[in-house]
Amino acid sequence: MVHIEKLPLGVLQANCYLVQCAATRKTVVIDPGMEAERVIERLHALGNPPVVAILATHGHFDHVVGVRALKQHTGAPFWISEVEWELWAQHAHEHPVYLNLPP
């Protein structure tokens, strides 16, 4: 059996999903969004299950900004399609505007 939990994150309420195998507790995080700390807190509340992968459905900032912190916390590999990675890279100069950061 698989357990799926939805976490709406950030001001845009992008949906992050925690997908966990009930038997092994192995967990995949999909679209960690803009609030990695909330994802980490939820993983802690779940007893720190082993995170085996971090996936992004696409390269929009509100789906991937939290990847670095989550990767550092869990050690899990990050997966995104090559096309979406290129999209992220092409528009990276725009991301500070959305995040209220200096360019």
Tens-place pLDDT, residues 5-18: 999 988 788 899 99
Q: Which domains does the chain show, CATH number per domain?
A: 2-98 (3.60.15.10)
Provide the pairing of β-strand 27-30 with 14-21.
antiparallel
Lowest model confidence (mean pLDDT) among 45-49, 57-61, 80-84 = 57-61
What confidence tens digit (pLDDT) does each residue in 21-47 have?
999 999 999 999 888 999 999 999 999
pLDDT at position 94 is: 60
